[in-house]
Amino acid sequence: MGSDLEHASADLGAGPVATFRQVTLPRLVPAILAAAALVFVLSFDDVLISLFTSGAGNETWPLVILSSVRFGLRPSINATVVMMLGITLFVALATALALKMMGSRGRAVS
């Protein structure tokens, strides 16, 4: 995404929040929707594969989460999911920071 439209909106007097809301976000909506659909399909597929391949007496993590959603969430499930989301967020932010630092050193990042 080029920054020409953001610069143009700033030149026309829009603030950073208005620029994000009226210029940047509408351009990102298709990518956000595609990512959400992909995540849903992959998660659904993970549960289905676990249902078909788990043996008797074995419960995979997706099945544990699915059964806890059906029959009431346990605090341990909530804590584990929060930890997994935290680790994922940390890795994503660290990657974004590393890419930003590499880009500021003059390297081409594509």
Q: What does the pLDDT read at residue 81? A: 84
Q: What does the pLDDT read at residue 1? A: 62
- Indicate the pTM of the whole model: 0.54
User: How do the pLDDT tens digits run along the chain, 110 residues long?
Assistant: 678 888 899 889 999 999 999 999 999 999 999 999 999 998 888 778 877 877 777 778 777 877 787 787 778 888 888 998 999 999 999 999 999 888 877 655 55
Q: What does the pLDDT read at residue 20? A: 92
State the Cα angle at 101 between 98 and 103, rounded to 5°. Answer: 110
Q: Could you identify the residue written with the tokens 């208005």?
A: 18
Q: Which residues of 4-36 are buried (b: 16+ CB within 10 A; e: fewer)?
A: eebeebeeeebeeeebeeebeeeeeeeeeeeee
